[in-house]
Structures are given as structure tokens and as C-alpha cells.
Copies of this chain bind each other. A is one copy, B any other.
Amino acid sequence: MNNRPPARRGRPRSQATRQTILRATNALLEAHGYTALTIEGVAEQAGVSKSTIYRWWASKAELAMEAYAASAAARLPLPDTGDLAADLLAFGEQFCQLLRTTSTPKIMSGLAAAAFDDQALAQAFRHGFISTRRTAMQHILERASERGEIAASTNIEQALDHFYGPIFYRLLFRGAPIDTLFVQQHVQAMLTLLERPAPSS
């Protein structure tokens, strides 16, 4: 692995500037949402020139993605209680609280829409926002599988779709609440789908 910096000629990119831009983007996203985010706004907020932004990000979608993905990933809950139902409840509860208290839904729906017009962005979106969340949940399921709580044959992919799908559907399309009651019922349904410990006999 050649991890030495490439030692390119010319003035190196300022990491400070890069962070300032990402922070400004996040602040604006949280404050006014994705639609209202503009490159010019970020430039002003960050005290940075537009060209500097365009040098490193191709569009506001790409910028928003990078800015928000990190902060979103950092907040992902990672419960490990040793019990599937408890893990699901804890994860669901904390995850839904995030969705309730941050601008995440707004931003994700904006990015999802933008992704339809830009394949590269779609790629980044799925990697930065979707896979991360799926992986977190996957760990829970795999641990449950190792403990024998769910059958080894369980279709994990499908289970993940069934966990996240209804949550986002309610949030983005129905405007329905993502409260404790919902989480409880949702986890119950998940267990119904998962708990097939092979009745043996």
C-alpha cells in the first residue's frame, strides 16, 4: 500500500477549507432543507469562493451527500443486548428518533430524487446512506442468527427491506408518525417474519 501522499506539484488542497465547506453545508441543510441549499449560499456561509466548491464537488447533491453522510453515519445506533427483540426495539426506537428530530428525511428525499438524474450520485447515495444503515441492522440479524434466534436460511436482504421500507414509506410518502407505538408494532411484525426457528420435527 502506497499511502504516502502523491506529492503532487502546486499548492496542496486545504483540508481546513474542505471542512469549513462541509460544516457550512450541514448547517444550511439542517436549517433550511435540501431544496433551499445553494452553492452560492454555501460559499457565502463558509467564506469560500464558488470555484473552490466546484473544484471538489460536482453538484450540490454530491456536496450535500458527503456533508451529510458522515454526520448521519456517526449517529447510527449500534445496540447489542444479546437478544434479537431487544436489539430491534432499541435500534428502531433510536433510529426513528433521529428521523423525527433531524432534517434527515427532508435531505434523504431530496437526494433520492436527485439520484434519479445522476447515476454517479445514485451510487454514492446508496453507498453513503443506504448501505451504512443496512449494515448496522445486518449485524443485529447476524448475531441473532449465530445465537440461533433465527434460521440460517433467513433471507437477510428481504428482512432489511421489510425493516426499512415501511419506516421510510411512512415518513416520506404518508407523513405518518414514527412513534414508539409504531416501532413496537413494527418490531413485532419483523419478529413474525424472522422467528422461524425451524419447528424441527
Check: A130 CB closer than 8 A to any chain B CB: yes
Max chain B Cβ within 10 angstroms of own Cβ: one of A130, A173, A176, A192: A173
Interface string of A89-114 (1 = CB under 8 A from B): 00000000000000001101110111
Residue positions of A touching B, CB distance < 8 A:
33-36, 105-106, 108-110, 112-117, 122, 125-126, 129-130, 155, 158, 161-162, 164-170, 172-176, 185-186, 189, 192-193
Could you say which residues of chain B place their CB within 8 Å of the CB of A172?
112, 172
Contact in complex: B112, A116 (CB < 8 Å)? no
Point out the residue from B155, B165, B176, B186 that lies within 8 Å of A169, measured CB to CB.
B165
Could you say which residues of chain B place their CB within 8 Å of the CB of A112?
109, 112-113, 172-173
Contact in complex: A35, B161 (CB < 8 Å)? no
CB nearest neighbor in B for A130: B173
Point out the residue from B36, B116, B170 that lies within 8 Å of A106, measured CB to CB.
B116
Point out the residue from B105, B117, B129, B158 that lies within 8 Å of A35, measured CB to CB.
B117
Contact in complex: B185, A189 (CB < 8 Å)? no
A36 to B187, CA, bound (A): 40
Contact in complex: A173, B126 (CB < 8 Å)? yes
A109 to B169, CA, bound (A): 11
